[in-house]
Amino acid sequence: MSRFAAPIAEQIWDMKYRLKEADGTPIDGTVEDSWRRIARALAEVEADPAHWEGEFYAALEDFKFLPAGRITAGAGTGRSVTLFNCFVMGTIPDNMGGIFDALKEAALTMQQGGGIGYDFSTIRPRGAEVKGVAADASGPLSFMDVWDAMCRTIMSAGSRRGAMMATMRCDHPDIESFIEAKKDPARLRMFNLSVLVTDPFMAAVKADGPWELVFDGKVYKTVQARDLWNRIMRNTFDFAEPGVIFIDRINAMNNLAYCETIAATNPCGEQPLPPYGACLLGSINLAKLVNGAFTKDAALDLQALDSLVRTAVRMMDNVVDASRFPLPQQAQEAQAKRRIGLGVTGLADALLMVGLRYGSEKAAEITDRWMQAIARAAYLASADLAAEKGAFPLFDAEKFLASGALAHMPDDVKSAIRAKGIRNALLTSIAPTGTISLYAGNVSSGIEPVFAYAYTRKVLQKDGSRTEEEVVDYAVRLWREKMGDAPLPDYFVNAQTLPPLDHVRMQAAAQKWVDSSISKTINCPEDISFDDFKGVYMAAWDQGCKGCTTYRPNDVTGSVLTVAETSEKTPAEAPAAMHQTADGAEVVYLSEPLDRPAALEGQTYKLKWPGSEHALYITINDIVIAGHRRPFEVFINSKNMEHFAWTVALTRMISAVFRRGGDISFVVEELKAVFDPRGGAWLEGRYIPSILAAIGGVIERHLIEIGFIAGEGLGLKSDPKAEVVALGTPRGKSCSSCGSYDMRMVEGCMTCASCGYSKCG
C-alpha cells in the first residue's frame, strides 16, 4: 500500500521531491527510496554510517520528521545545490560600489533558490548629501527598486520564485516612505517589508512621546511615536504590510548576542540572522505522535518525541557539513555557528486529536509543555554532540549561558552545556511548512490553526484537463475513520472563526521555547475595527512575541482564499491550482512546467525594425487549458546573425515563463519598458523605444487576440508604452529615425529635412 494519505501528497512528492533524471525518468521509485536517499546522504559524515542511516530512515519513515524541502529534494542527489532555506545577506555599505556588490551577492544567492533578507537602514536617506559628486542621495527605497527588478529578472528566467525580506529601523529618516511603499500596487512586489521596532520606540508609543528620525548622528525629523505607530498600523490594516519585528527583543534573547547583531530576517520571518547568516529548517510532525486520538486517554507520546528530536538534531547538524552554499561568507558563517532551525508542524491537528480547542488557555498551556519538551531534548542532544564531535567554533560557555534564551531553560540543560559545550548555537525555529505539511498528508501547517477542514481542489492534468478532488485535513480524516459520520465536536475551530487574540496566545506560548522565531499569520476578520486591530500588535508585544504579522482580507489585499458556504475550501500550495483574480478571471499557477503537446496552434508575426536589413519573425504557440487559450512558447527568428544570441536567449527565457503558468502579462510590461540608449524608431505612427519594446508589443497584441488580456495596457501593473504623437494627415512616408513626415529627395536620395537622416548615409 502507498504511504501517502491523499493523492495531493503523492503529487507533491513526485513534482517537488522525487529524484529524477534530466529527462524526467524517476530515480526514486517510491517515497521509501527518497527517505533512503536522504538518510544515506546525511549519515555519510558519521563514524558508523550504516547505524545512523537506519536511525535516520526510521525518523523519516511515515513522515514523522520532515526536513525542509531543500533537504528532501537535494540531499543525496550529487547535485551542486544548497540545502539551506534561509539567508540574510551582508550589511549594505553606504556607497555605490558596495551597494552593487551587495546586489550581485543577492543575485547569486537567489539563483540557487535561496530566500534572502536585507536591512536597508544602512543606506543614507533621500536628500542627504553625497560628498564629492555635488548630488543628493536617492535614498534606500530607490535601491530597493533595483533589488526588486533583479529578483523579477531571475524569476522570469525560470528559477524558483524569488523571495526577499526588506527591513528598516523605526528611527531611519525614510521610515515613513518605507511604511507606505506598498500603497503603490506596482512597487516592490518581490519584497516582504518589516519595520525593525525597538524597545525605546515602544516605550515612546505607550507614553505618546516624541521620536527622532536619525542617520549617522544627525536628526532629520522629530515625530510623535504614536503617530508613526498608527501609520504602520494603518498601512498594515489596509495593505497587509509592513510587518513588525521587535528587534531589540530578538537581540536580547539571542544565544549569540556576545558575537553578533541581528538586523534582518529571512522572507517568512522565522529566522532572524546576522550578516551572511544561513539556517536550515526541519519539522517534527506532532500529529504522528499522538496515541489514542479522539479518546479520553489521548496524549502526545513524550518519550517518542524526545527520541525523535534527538535524531532530528543530529541529522540537521550533519546537513551543515553536507550542504553547499552560494557564497563563501555564508559557508563560513554556517560552520562557525552551526545554526539549525528545528520546528513543528501539525500542532493544531495534534491538539484536536487530544480534544483541545486551538487558541484556548488549555491549548496554550499544552503547547507550552510540548515546546519545552522539544527545546529541552534539542539542547541536550546538541550538548551530547558537542561531547562527541566538538562545540561550535565560537562557543563561549560563560557568555552563552548568560544569554536571554537560556534564562528559563531547565537546570539539567544548563549543566549539560557547562560540562560538554553545545554543538549548535541556535536550535529551534518554526517555519510555515506549507508544502511539506501537504506532502505529509495535509496536516495543519506549522503552529497555525487548521484553515478549513475539507476543500475541493482543482488539479491541472498534463493533457490540459482539470479534475476535482477533495482534500481533507489529517485530523478530520482520522476522525472520519474512527467515528464515521459523527459530527465534528465544537472544539474543531478553524482560522475563519478564531479570534485574533487567540492566535496571539498560541504564538506567545510557542515563542517562549523557540530560540529563533516563528512564522505565523494572525488572521483578522475584514470587519475588525482599527482599534482592535492595533490591539493585536500591542498584545503581541506585551506577551513576549518577537514579531507580528496579520492578514485582513479587503478590496486591496484580496483574500488568501474565499471559503464558500456550500463547500469548505482552503489554500493549498499545490503542484497546480486555479486561482481567481478580483474580477473573477481564472489564472493557472504551476509549480512545474507542463510537458509540450505534440501539436500546438499559434501565429507568426513579422516585425520590420527600421534600419535593420532583415525582419524578425515572432511565432507564439498557445495551449488550451479548460477551454481557455494561453501562450505556451515563443520563437524569434531572423536572418540577421547579429540578433542570433539574444533572440535565442529571449526565446528560452520567455518560453520558460509561459510554461510556469500564472499571470504572465508582466513579460509584456518588462519588454515595453526597455529603452535603447541609441534611440528607438517610429512604427505605424508611434515611437517605440527599442526593438525589445517592439517585441513586447507583438506579444501584447497576441495576448489580446487570444483573450488573455482585454486590451492594450490592460492587465498590466502599468503600461509603459510610448506616447503617441498626433501627426495629422500624413504627407508621404514618415522618417524612420524621427517619425516626421518631412522626407524629400535630395541629391537622388530620400532625406529627412527635420533630422537629416538619409538612407544614403
Catalytic residue positions, numbered: 266, 268, 270
CA 437 distance to own-chain centroid: 16
Q: Residue 588 is inside which H or E element, if any?
A: strand 586-590
Sort 540 into a burial class: Cβ within 10 Å, 0-12 / 13-18 / 19+.
buried
Q: Residue 744 is inside which H or E element, if any?
A: strand 743-746
Q: Cell numbers for 546, please give them.
A: 518577537
DSSP notation for 351-366: HHHTT--TTSHHHHHH
> Which residue in 476, 507, 535, 659 sits closest to 236, CA to CA?
535
CB 351 within 8 A of CB 298: no
Neighbouring C-beta atoms of residue 250, cutoff 10 Å:
21
Q: How far apart are CA 77 and CA 27, in angstroms?
A: 10
Q: How far apart are CA 84 and CA 68, in angstroms?
A: 9
DSSP notation for 614-670: S-EEEEEEEEEETTEEEEEEEEEEES-GGGHHHHHHHHHHHHHHHHTBS-TTHHHHH
> Which residue in 422, 382, 374, 381 sits closest to 398, CA to CA?
422
Q: How far apart are CA 574 and CA 590, in angstroms?
A: 8
- Sequence-separated (6 or more) residues with CB below 8 Å from residue 221: 173, 212, 213
DSSP bridge partners of 473 = none
Helix (H/G/I), strand (E/B), else coil: 140: helix
β-bridge pairing 243-246 and 191-197? parallel
> Which residue in 745, 742, 709, 590 sits closest to 657, CA to CA?
590
Helix (H/G/I), strand (E/B), else coil: 573: coil
Q: How far apart are CA 552 and CA 533, in angstroms?
A: 9
Q: How far apart are CA 672 and CA 692, in angstroms?
A: 7
Helix (H/G/I), strand (E/B), else coil: 108: helix
Helix (H/G/I), strand (E/B), else coil: 233: helix
- Sequence-separated (6 or more) residues with CB below 8 Å from residue 290: 298, 299, 300, 301, 350, 353, 354
